């Protein structure tokens, strides 16, 4: 009996512990459910959308280059005996101006020799004509109508005529070479770099100067695919739809402007940068004040297409680059996809917003679609977006 009590004692203790824990659990007060209150709507600066027509201005940059530039070279050999006063780096010249004069005495002598060869050839031809005439008379006296070509001296007569033509060609060539000893300007232009000077001997084909035309300057403007979509670019200069371009640059601390037009585009898209180049032309760049000099880096403003349904918002109003935050019904936040026509430093031009929509200009601390927003509408005077 004593052994049974010893074995049952641990079970009794365990059962008592379980009953105590169960009692404590049942007597613990139950938590009361509480309704979560919606956080207060944040106040955010906003505007009422008023879409309208807007002509987009596209911005680009480029370097002024000459439209035509060539390397002038000597066509004949000779010693430079004189140069023009304008034959210097940066010098201006007119069409037909004499830039260099080579020693022409050798070519004058060659012209005299060519005239002598013409006289000799004429003498030979006259003698052959006489012999041919005599041969025809002798052959006719023999009673034959058809004569042998060799007996009639026809080959000798042709050779004499050919020799005379060759002598005349030599004279023409000597005159051309004589003219080429005077190197003249091919157009109105400016000298970029000279390669020779007085006293230097030139070989035929040797470069004498790098020159460019001064009538027209051009600027190649790189345009991305999004920028070309905003422009009516002329593919060729004869199409007539030239785009006005305002060029500007800083010179001596002041900003100056010039006017040009995009007359054409490059033949293909650049395979490395994936941009298309629009070619701006400026007529008579050196006659403006100040002149539009070659090598100047300029900013360009291109007048683009006109779009309907455009609003202008601060750049910071864009959400994820191509969306706007709109306050919808019951002041609930809505994320609206839009088309961003142009994204500048301070402003963005977008379409895809209806008239009367409330557009947030700032962002709340966090963005959750459907959250409550308390928009603070800005007046038109407060919306200064350039």
pLDDT digits (tens, 9 = 90+) for 163-174: 899 999 999 999
Judged by DSSP in three states, 326 sits in strand
Peptide bond connecting 360 to the previous residue in cis, omega within 30 degrees of 0: no
Which DSSP string corresponds to 65-82?
EESSEEEEE-SS-EEEEE
The structural domain count of the chain equals: 4
Mean pLDDT for the chain overall: 86
- Are 328 and 291 found together in one domain? no
- Are 142 and 160 found together in one domain? yes
* Residue 34 covered by a domain: no
Do 250 and 274 touch, CB atoms closer than 8 A?
no
Decide if pLDDT at 128 tops 60: yes
- Are 98 and 188 found together in one domain? yes
**Residue 282 neighbours by CB distance under 10 Å:** 20
Tokens of 295: 């090598």
Show which of 278, 306, 334 is a domain's final residue.
306
pLDDT at 8: 65
Decide if pLDDT at 5 tops 60: no
Nearest to 361 by CA among 378, 346, 344, 380: 378
pLDDT in tens, 304-334: 899 999 999 998 899 988 999 999 888 899 9
Decide if pLDDT at 195 tops 80: yes
Tokens of 1: 């009996």
Nearest to 326 by CA among 370, 291, 289: 370
- Are 208 and 224 found together in one domain? no
Q: Phi and psi (nearest 5°) for 119?
A: -60, -45
Decide if pLDDT at 102 tops 90: yes
Do 167 and 117 touch, CB atoms closer than 8 A?
yes
Q: Which residues contact 287 (CB under 8 A, 6 or more apart)?
A: none
pLDDT in tens, 199-258: 999 999 999 999 999 999 999 999 998 899 888 887 655 555 678 999 999 998 899 999
Place of tokens 């301070």: 346
Report which of residues 136 and 142 the model is more confident about: 136
pLDDT at 155: 81
Do 302 and 243 touch, CB atoms closer than 8 A?
yes
Tokens of 319: 């959400």
Show which of 306, 326, 351 is a domain's final residue.
306
Show which of 272, 288, 306 is a domain's final residue.
306
Domain range for 345 is: 43-52+308-382
Do 274 and 225 touch, CB atoms closer than 8 A?
yes
- Are 98 and 192 found together in one domain? yes
Decide if pLDDT at 32 tops 80: no
Average pLDDT over residues 39-51: 87
Q: Please give the Cα distance from 297 to 250 (Å, whole number).
A: 9
HEC letters along 183-215: EECCCCEEEEEECCCCCCEECCCCEEEEEEECC
Average pLDDT over residues 145-155: 63
* Domain containing residue 82: CATH number: 2.40.50.100
pLDDT at 211: 96
* Residue 19 covered by a domain: no
- Are 248 and 273 found together in one domain? yes
Please tell me the pTM assigned to this model: 0.73
Decide if pLDDT at 182 tops 90: yes
Distance between start and end Cα atoms, the chain: 104
Q: Counting beta carbons within 10 angstroms of the beta carbon of residue 103, is it exposed (0 to 12), middle (13 to 18) or buried (19 or more)?
A: middle
Decide if pLDDT at 160 tops 60: yes
Average pLDDT over residues 263-291: 91
pLDDT at 139: 66
Do 147 and 136 touch, CB atoms closer than 8 A?
yes
Nearest to 376 by CA among 360, 364, 365: 360
Decide if pLDDT at 21 tops 70: no
* Domain containing residue 317: CATH number: 2.40.420.20
């Amino acid at each position: 009996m004593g052994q049974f009590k010893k074995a049952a004692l641990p079970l009794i203790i365990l059962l008592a512990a379980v009953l105590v824990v169960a009692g404590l659990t049942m007597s613990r007060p139950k938590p009361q459910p509480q309704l979560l209150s919606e956080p207060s709507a944040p106040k955010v600066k906003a505007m009422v959308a008023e879409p309208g027509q807007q002509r987009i201005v596209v911005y680009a940059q480029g370097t002024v280059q000459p439209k035509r530039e060539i390397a002038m070279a000597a066509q004949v050999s000779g010693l430079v005996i004189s140069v023009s006063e304008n034959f210097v780096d940066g010098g201006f010249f007119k069409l037909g101006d004499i830039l260099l004069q080579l020693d022409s005495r050798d070519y004058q002598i060659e012209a005299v020799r060519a005239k002598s060869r013409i006289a000799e050839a004429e003498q030979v031809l006259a003698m052959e004509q006489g012999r041919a005439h005599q041969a025809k008379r002798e052959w006719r006296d023999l009673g034959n109508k058809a004569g042998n070509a060799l007996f009639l001296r026809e080959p000798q007569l042709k050779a004499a005529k050919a020799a005379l033509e060759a002598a005349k060609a030599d004279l023409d060539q000597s005159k051309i070479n004589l003219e080429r000893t005077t190197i003249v300007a091919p157009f109105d232009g400016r000298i970029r770099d000279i390669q020779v000077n007085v006293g230097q001997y030139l070989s035929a084909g040797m470069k004498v100067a790098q020159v460019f035309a001064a009538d027209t300057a051009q600027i190649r403007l790189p345009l991305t695919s999004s920028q070309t979509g905003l422009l009516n670019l002329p593919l060729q200069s004869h199409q007539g739809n030239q785009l006005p371009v305002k060029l500007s640059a800083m010179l001596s601390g002041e900003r100056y402007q010039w006017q040009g037009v995009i007359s054409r585009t490059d033949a293909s898209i650049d395979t490395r940068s994936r941009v298309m180049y629009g070619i701006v032309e400026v007529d008579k760049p050196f006659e403006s004040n100040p002149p539009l000099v070659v090598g100047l880096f300029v900013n360009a403003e291109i007048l683009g297409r006109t779009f309907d349904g455009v609003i202008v918002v601060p750049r910071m109003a864009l959400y994820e680059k191509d969306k706007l935050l709109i306050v919808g019904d019951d002041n609930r936040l809505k994320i609206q996809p839009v088309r961003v026509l142009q994204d500048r430093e301070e402003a963005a031009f977008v379409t895809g917003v209806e008239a009367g929509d409330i557009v947030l200009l700032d962002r709340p601390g966090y963005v959750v679609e459907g959250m409550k927003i308390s928009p603070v509408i800005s007046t038109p005077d407060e919306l200064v977006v350039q």
